[in-house]
Amino acid sequence: MPRSDLDVLIAGGGFAGLTLAIALRQALGGSFLVAVVDPGLGCAAAGHDERASAIVASVRRLFETLGVWQGVAAEAQPILDMAVTDSRLGDAVRPTFLTFAGEVEPGEPFAHMIENRILADALTAKARDLGVDLRSAAVTDFAAASANSREPSPDRGRIDTRLSDAKALSARLLVAADGARSTIRSKGGIATHGWTYGQSAIVVNVAHERDHHGRAEEHFLPAGPFAILPLKGNRSSIVWTETTAEAERIMALPQPEFDGELEQRFKLHLGEIKVIGKRRAHPLGFFVARSFITERIALIGDAAHLIHPIAGQGLNMGLKDVAALAEVIVDAARLGLDPGSLDVLERYQRWRRFDTMAMGVATDGLNRLFSNRSDVLRLVRDVGLGLVDRLPALKRLFIREAAGLVGEVPKLLRGEAL
């Protein structure tokens, strides 16, 4: 069967996969051959994603550097400040224990909210403009030919893949950006470790009478956090955590009863609220791949890790993977090294795995601390929140950490071109 040779093949056309393709193409030019395969590419349904995502400052800098953010900035809502409360569901008043000003630098919000379809369309258009090979197919099988083999062969040091459209592609590196149920991770023999929380997140968008003024709210309730995240106009995205059984009950309610449950948690500080679009629910857990790399394969995004949404870091962690892997590949290619060799990929793994584990442990701890009905733990955490609120330097550190600007930050996340 005729086979096409590439430098990097990316399985998965979501935010992480497309962003990596754009970064590599911009840095290394048209002679560096990159393809993205995903059954959803070119699918009309992909353009109707009503979900929204928080883009932290470092990731916004990445998108600016790649020339993507400029086309979507007008549709992105800056988060100008954030309030954190801790109460029971039936409490008439929700005291605010912690507030954050929303800037990491003067005039630079620590995060923006943007609808997924807007950002996905911009990334797809940018990839096409740069000549990235976009294919509506999936990787169904692969086999790596070791670079250390003593047998002379043109295939040495490559990975051969078969696609769902019966075509074959060969690359020096296969990147798994194919989601939490990654076929490539599974077929590559990479195990995961983690657990489920017995919680589900209900995600829905609402319209409201009054202006949110760019304020995000995180209400910690006994079942889990209820987040109100501002969108452009008088709209907000809701990420609402419940026990899985309760989430199933709420999702099955007719619209008037669902609205009543939502209003009980949202309250009426922004006036009357109305659900717009579909409601969705998905189970929550914490999973990390035991390795982010294997022979000629690197994992990024949800294929490598899945964390609780309590801190809004899931998507941003995947894009931090992209920034680190892109820098590793570009540095190797410019030195004439094989970007798919284990020596090169080990640098990516060292860079990202510790940070991923640290964030996963932090979000797991926060969820366990806040998602319970213990009066003792509630007193402890509320005292802790109050102390943090009175320490501006500590709050600034938390904001910079959440914005992805602490530690060894890849160039793209600093706003520097590769």
Q: In 252-313, where does DSSP find H-type helix?
A: 255-266
Residue 51 makes CB contacts below 8 A (sequence gap 6+) with: 115, 116, 203, 237, 280
Q: What is the pLDDT of residue 43?
A: 67
pLDDT in tens, 320-377: 999 999 999 999 999 999 999 999 999 999 999 988 888 888 888 777 777 767 766 7
Per-residue pLDDT band at 38 (split at 50, 70, 90): very high
Q: What is the pLDDT of residue 292?
A: 98
The pLDDT mean for the chain works out to 89
End-to-end CA distance of the chain: 36
Pull the structure tokens for residue 289: 């791949």
- pLDDT higher than threshold 60 for residue 394: yes
Mean pLDDT of the 215-236 span: 93
Q: How far apart are CA 231 and CA 133, in angstroms?
A: 33
Full-model pTM: 0.92
Q: What is the pLDDT of residue 402?
A: 76
Q: What angle do CA 149, 155, 157 make, to 5 degrees?
A: 55
Per-residue pLDDT band at 146 (split at 50, 70, 90): low
CB neighbourhood size of 343 (10 A): 9
Of the candidate ranges 18-32, 55-69, 88-102, 385-399, the one whose mean pLDDT is the lowest:
385-399
- Tell me if 136 sits within 8 A of 43, measured CB to CB: yes
| Residue 264: C-alpha distances to residues 92, 200, 221, 385 (Å) | 10, 18, 12, 24
- Tell me if 176 sits within 8 A of 236, measured CB to CB: no
Q: What is the pLDDT of residue 150?
A: 41
Q: What is the pLDDT of residue 236?
A: 97
pLDDT in tens, 229-279: 999 999 999 999 999 999 999 999 999 999 999 999 999 899 999 999 899
Report which of residues 268 and 136 the model is more confident about: 136
pLDDT in tens, 179-208: 999 999 999 999 999 999 999 999 999 999
Which sign, positive or negative, has the C-alpha torsion 180, 277, 59, 227? Answer: negative
Mean pLDDT of the 127-153 span: 79
Q: What is the pLDDT of residue 92?
A: 67
Per-residue pLDDT band at 47 (split at 50, 70, 90): low
Q: What is the pLDDT of residue 2?
A: 45
Per-residue pLDDT band at 400 (split at 50, 70, 90): confident
Q: Quote the distance between the C-alpha of residue 22 and its chain's center.
A: 17
Q: How far apart are CA 55 and CA 283, in angstroms?
A: 22
Q: What is the pLDDT of residue 278?
A: 93
Q: How far apart are CA 392 and CA 390, in angstroms?
A: 6
Pull the structure tokens for residue 269: 């500080």
